[in-house]
Structure 1
Amino acid sequence: MSEEQARQAQLPPTSAIDTPSTQEFESWFEYPVRVQPHHTDYAGVVWHGTYLTWMEEARVECLRSIGIDFADLVSLGCDLPVVELSIRYHRSIQLGTAIILKTRMTEVTGVRINWDYGIVSNDGQELYVTAKVTLVALDRERGKIMRRLPPTFQDALTRISTVHNN
Structure 2
Amino acid sequence: MLVSTKEIEVRYAETDQMGVVYHANYLVWMEVGRTQLIKDLGFNYAEMEKDGIISPVLDIQVSYKKPLRYGEKAIVKTWIEEYDGLRICYGYDIYTEEGELAVSGLSKHVCVKKESFRPISVKKYYPNWHEAYEKAKKQTVNV
Q: TM-score, normalised by structure 1?
A: 0.75
Decide whether the 8 Å contact of 1:104 with 1:165 is kept in 2.
no
- Aligned pairs for 1:1-150 within 5 A: 28-124=3-99, 126-146=100-120, 148-149=121-122, 150=125
1:154 matched residue in structure 2: 130
Q: Deviating runs (4+, > 3 A) in structure 1?
A: none
Question: Identity over the aligned pairs, expressed in percent?
Answer: 27
Q: CA deviation at 1:107?
A: 1.8
- Residue identity opposite 1:83 in structure 2: L
Q: CA deviation at 1:34?
A: 1.1
Distance 2:27 2:94 in 1: 11
Distance 2:129 2:50 in 1: 13
- Residue identity opposite 2:116 in structure 1: R
Decide whether the 8 Å contact of 1:68 with 1:156 is kept in 2.
no
Q: CA deviation at 1:110?
A: 4.7
Decide whether the 8 Å contact of 1:28 with 1:165 is kept in 2.
no
Q: Please tell me the root mean square deviation across aligned C-alpha atoms, in Å.
A: 1.8
Q: CA deviation at 1:106?
A: 1.5
- Residue identity opposite 2:23 in structure 1: H
Aligned residues: 136
Distance 2:139 2:93 in 1: 14
Structure 1 residue runs of 5 or longer lacking an equivalent are 1-26
Higher Cα radius of gyration: 1
Structure 2 residue runs of 5 or longer lacking an equivalent are none
> Would the alpha carbon gap of residues 110 and 64 (structure 1) be closer, same or farther in structure 2, given more than 3 Å must change?
closer
